[in-house]
Amino acid sequence: MPSEIILKMEGICKSFPGVRALHNVDFVLRKGEIHALMGENGAGKSTLIKILTGVYEKDAGQILLNGRPVNFKSPQDALKAGIGTVFQEIALCPNLTVAENMFIGRSRKAFVSWKEMNAKAEKILNSLSIPANPTQELASCSIAVQQMIAIARAVDMDCKILILDEPTSSLDEDEVQKLFALMRELQARGVGIIFITHFIDQVYAISDRITVLRNGELIGEYETAELPQIELVSKMMGKALSDVSAMKKQEPPKADQRVPAFEAKGLASAAGVRPFDFTIHQGEVNGFAGLLGSGRSESVRAIFAADKVTGGEVKINGKPVKIRTPLSAMKCGIGYLPEDRKSEGIIDELSVRDNIILALQVLKGFFKPLSRKQAAEFANEYVKLLEIKTPSLDTPIKSLSGGNQQKAILARWLLTHPMYLILDEPTRGIDVGTKVEIQKLVLKLAQEGMSLTFISSEIDEMLRVCSRLIVMKDREIVGELSGTDLTEQNVMRMIAQGGK
């Protein structure tokens, strides 16, 4: 194995207002290696990549490309220096042909020679075994092929370093294999590949080395062959620091006293999770454990009908109901705090008050608006209860901090008095103090008889809050843990080994 170092990042630091995204991170890429960059949400993977490609400017540290320090101002700069990036969302033009997508924006010539371009493209496609015609419209290629064409473009631009940012997240097994074959081909040509993915199996299938980041810090660099899967999982999840000695978990009710609050059979949605069965009891807090992309979010979205529900039966308190839209789920007493606060949670320009009363208002109906006074009272009650720090109720929610925005959304759902509340990553990207507050609140609500589903990337947090964990891997439920079985070791083993 050649071990010539082509890229070295040293002591990289980056802070955003209020958040320390990266702290003293080192990263080394060698010639002809596939290097997996691993970490949960907020670990700093994408920040690191964006600093490397010149999207962000680093606060401290240096980048050495072939031993020479570089500082890119834009992705185009990085590309010129031989660092190509292929994103999860393909940055190609679907209305152009395959060949055009490989060559557009590169030549300074005033006219295009289609013949020459197609011939060149054909040659590259053949050499990389990509199943596409140069004259084909890109939109008619599968996502995998589009992905490969993006890679081919980067390779043809003589990239010595290729960054693949979650290229496999929307591919099926067959397509992944094709992509891997292409990656190995490039590896043989001496291209260094930085591979970012959430699929652990894929990391072990293809990578030579693994660098793990957590909370913006470097955990370590390992030879893939020498790092057992379970250790990787534990390194990624880590142990969150917090002062929660005062918290006590809700004991699960005895088997004969349990009353199912929500039951689903064979539930499936268009977002692509294998049909699953699921039950939650009154006063229970359960969680979906699994890495990002394991299908944990897709499952709860199916429960709330946030994605198009394609099948399955649902019972609320034993009675069969039909949930096909978020509104019908809300009417059944289900609340859902989405994972992506910015694009699905807050309505950023609306005031804190309107954001808090939104769900209640919709439930009451179009013709029964709360009076301004009532709305202010409701909002105020929860602003005080949850200690939401806002200058006033009329402040647009976008000017609040992340933690306070999240509390406002939580208030939105509490105001509807749901019988079953789904919280998907409620503690993501918020300060430790607020995290603990939210965890305590969840336990308190369960004590009052509410059923809750709590999802988090931090395993500690889930173990602290949930009395039962449903473990998912690769969009499938692989097992369930509760009682004394519910330990960090068991969860990680299950995720790593797939329930065996």
User: Among residue numbers 218 through 277, which ones bind another protein (CB under 8 A)?
Assistant: 246-248, 268, 270, 272, 274
Q: What is the DSSP string of 424-475?
A: ESTTTTS-HHHHHHHHHHHHHHHHTT-EEEEE-S-HHHHHHH-SEEEEEETT
Question: Binding residue for another protein (CB under 8 A) from 188, 226, 251, 366?
Answer: 366
Residue 313 three-state SS? strand
Binding to another protein in span 368-427, by CB under 8 A: 368-369, 383-387, 389-392, 394-395, 412
Number of residues that bind another protein (CB under 8 A): 99
In the complex, least distance from residue 387 CB atom to another protein, rounded to whole angstroms: 5
In the complex, least distance from residue 292 CB atom to another protein, rounded to whole angstroms: 16
Which is nearest to 495 in space by CA: 464, 467, 457?
457
- The one-letter amino acid at 391: P
Residue 49 to residue 72: CA distance in whole angstroms: 12
Output 173 or 256, the one with its CB closest to another protein: 173
In the complex, least distance from residue 461 CB atom to another protein, rounded to whole angstroms: 15
Determine contact, residues 250/235, Cβ cutoff 8 Å.
no
In the complex, least distance from residue 339 CB atom to another protein, rounded to whole angstroms: 11
97: Cβ contacts below 8 Å, ≥ 6 apart: 134, 135, 136, 137, 138
Q: Which of the ranges 23-31, 41-49, 71-79, 198-206 carries the binding residues for another protein, by CB under 8 A?
A: 71-79
In the complex, least distance from residue 419 CB atom to another protein, rounded to whole angstroms: 16
Tokens of 442: 């969840």
Residue 36 to residue 38: CA distance in whole angstroms: 6
Output 310 or 489, the one with its CB closest to another protein: 310
What mask, x for binding another protein by CB under 8 A, covers residues 277 to 296? --------------------
Binding to another protein in span 435-464, by CB under 8 A: 436-437, 440-441, 443-444, 447
57 binds another protein (CB under 8 A): no
Binding to another protein in span 335-364, by CB under 8 A: 336, 338, 343-350, 354, 358-359, 361-363
In the complex, least distance from residue 242 CB atom to another protein, rounded to whole angstroms: 13
Per the DSSP assignment, residues forming a β-bridge with 309 are 269
Q: What is the DSSP string of 206-239?
A: H-SEEEEEETTEEEEEEEGGGS-HHHHHHHHH--
End-to-end CA distance of the chain: 34
Radius of gyration for the chain, computed over Cα atoms and rounded to the nearest angstrom: 25
Output 239 or 444, the one with its CB closest to another protein: 444
Binding to another protein in span 172-211, by CB under 8 A: 172-174, 177-178, 181
In the complex, least distance from residue 170 CB atom to another protein, rounded to whole angstroms: 4
What mask, x for binding another protein by CB under 8 A, covers residues 112 to 141? x-x----------xx--xxxxx-xxx-xxx
Residue 281 three-state SS? strand
